[in-house]
Amino acid sequence: MGNQKVKWTVEEEEALKAGVVKHGLGKWKNILRDPQFAPYLSNRSNIDLKDKWRNMCISYGQCSRKKLKASRVKTISSEALSTLTTGNLVAEVDAIDDFSGSPQDVRDAPGYKTMIFEALSSIRDSSGSNIDDIVGFIEQKHEVPQNIRRILSTRLRRLVLQGKLEKVQDRYKIKDATLGTKTPMPKQKDISAETVEDAAMTAAYKIADAEDKSFVAAEAVKEAERVSTMAEDADSFLLLANEIFEKCSRGETIRLANSSYNFD
DNA sequence: CTAGGGATAATC
DNA sequence: GATTATCCCTAG
């Protein structure tokens, strides 16, 4: 009398994971409505998504459903985090600021971004400034960490991607307000690195906000930066989705808050 | 709409 | 027989 059980395909699973990354946990209907995922999930209901996510969390957590009842392994234990959420991570990830406004430009670290423009407009070299000039200038005016060069390198790359800076050879110039093309907002398989990073970060923040998991967001941001730096491949998006997914499902994020939290 | 428990087909 | 994956029902 019951219905046939139709197993989930990997495409469906990936779409679900990506959907959770983008829309956050528990936003099943949103995921389903998103034209980006809808084609893959046309045979599934929002309840199906929820059930499937539950199952995936259980299997990845190596814990059967009935044992789950006894041993309190929820998706994430909110106990462990209360000790970690506040301290070092928030300080470390300066990218966490206000993203309540437009989801477009908000997640750049205001500090470094400002410093970069300050440096560039002060140096005012018609051929642009290379990264050493910029680093030198900023080091003189601000207290900056050791790995400032690497941080700046990431920021510069991103600003170029956003069309706010122009890169000629090894030199960076401010690109004046001719920002004709904002985000191209590509279709399905053709995701630009910037969009990937953007979506991943926004999603990570939403998840963190919903579940009080700042450290997951911090980790995701780190991953997003790495992804955007090293590859402009849509596959990275799925990789990132998988990583976030696994971390969500087994609450295995504690270690990186303790000591092994490094940007380099 | 979502979370959670329960029922059932598929699998071990 | 037990466990797992999917589907279903209900409360909030």
Tens of pLDDT, residues A1-23:
667 899 998 778 877 877 876 67
**Weakest mean pLDDT among A49-58, A140-149, A198-207:** A198-207
Across all strands, nucleotide nearest A2 (CA–C1') = B8
* Domains along chain A with CATH numbers: 10-80 (1.10.10), 82-98+185-258 (no CATH), 110-174 (1.10.10.10)
Report which residue is nearest nucleotide C4 when distances run from CA to C1'.
A64
Q: How far apart are CA A58 and CA A155, in angstroms?
A: 38
A66 touches strand B (CB under 7 A): no
The band of A136, judged by pLDDT with boundaries at 50, 70 and 90, is confident
Write down the pLDDT at residue A130.
79
C1' (B1) to CA (A171) span, angstroms: 52
Angle between helices A148-161 and A193-211 (to 10 degrees): 110
**Residues 28-87 (A) near nucleic chain C, CB < 7 A:** 44, 47-48, 51-52, 54-55, 58-59, 64-66
Across all strands, nucleotide nearest A51 (CA–C1') = C6
Report which residue is nearest nucleotide B2 when distances run from CA to C1'.
A26
Give the mean model confidence (pLDDT) for residues A255-260. 34
A42 versus A223: which is more confidently predicted? Answer: A42
Which pLDDT tens digit goes with each residue over A28-70? 999 898 877 888 788 899 999 999 988 877 665 544 444 444 3
Across all strands, nucleotide nearest A6 (CA–C1') = C6
Which pLDDT tens digit goes with each residue over A85-127? 333 333 233 333 333 333 333 444 445 666 777 677 666 666 7
C1' (B5) to CA (A63) span, angstroms: 18
Protein contacts on strand C: list nucleotides below 7 Å from a Cβ.
Answer: 3-10
Question: A127 near A168, Cβ under 8 Å?
Answer: yes
A150 touches strand C (CB under 7 A): no
Q: How far apart are CA A107 and CA A125, in angstroms?
A: 28
The band of A162, judged by pLDDT with boundaries at 50, 70 and 90, is low
Which pLDDT tens digit goes with each residue over A171-201? 887 766 544 444 444 444 444 444 544 555 5
